[in-house]
Structure formats: C-alpha cells, structure tokens
Amino acid sequence: SYVLAQPPSVSVAPGQTARITCGGNSIGSKSVHWYQEKPGQAPVLVVYDDSDRPSGIPERFSGSNSGNTATLTISRVEAGDEADYYCQVWDSSSDHVVFGGGTKLTVL
C-alpha cells in the first residue's frame, strides 16, 4: 500500500519560514492535499491539488510537489500557525485515501 512519510515535528521562530515535507514514491504524479489541525478542532483544508488555496486561507500558505516529495511552506510564521499538519493523497492503485503521519509545527 502507498505510504506517505512526514517528519514528526518542525520548529520555527515567529516570522520565519516553515517547510513541512511529505515523502512518497513518485508523489509528484499525484495530487497532494494538506490539512491543519489545532487541538480540540476539526481539521481544516489549507492547500489542495498541490498548490491551490481554499478561500479564506492566507497567502502565507503554499504548496509544491515534485519527484518523491511534496512540501507545505508557511511564510512569516505566526503563533496561531502552531498545529498538526497532515498531507493526503488518493491512491488510485488501491482505491484508498492515504494520510501522512502528521507533523507537529511548534512556533518557538
């Protein structure tokens, strides 16, 4: 089955840029989606189809996808960005939705 690998944690100072990676075999050939989950709240879609943003999501959130790695980039990080972030794809070979294990973003 298809596997997505995320680093368990990423730390960044306020105002800096956070990059959260999502690794998978030829992930560049798939559409990758990203979710933000804060404690006690439902997940929120922050990037879809590799690099598109839903309405209401700040331009500070961006995504890219190539080769074996997709990346969620958060520019000018704020304290309110502290959350768990998950990548997700649809694996058509198994007809399964696949999530990465999640990355906890800590704002120092």
Partner 1 sequence: EVQLLESGGDLVQPGGSLRLSCAASGFTFRNNAMHWVRQAPGKGLEWVSAITGSGGRTYYADSVKGRFTISRDNSRNTLYLQMNTLGADDTALYYCARDPGVTGIYYFDYWGQGNLVTVSS
| Phi, psi angles (nearest 5°) of residue 106 | -110, 130
C-alpha to C-alpha distance for 32 and 39, rounded to whole angstroms: 23
Q: How far is the CB of 78 from partner 1 (least distance, A)?
A: 22
- Nearest to partner 1 of 3, 108 (CB atom): 3
Can you give the binding site for partner 1, defined by CB under 8 A? Answer: 1, 31, 33, 35, 37, 42-45, 48, 54, 84, 86, 88, 90, 95-102
Q: Quick one: tokens of 34?
A: 């990203």
Q: How far is the CB of 16 from partner 1 (least distance, A)?
A: 25
CB atoms within 10 A of CB 71: 19
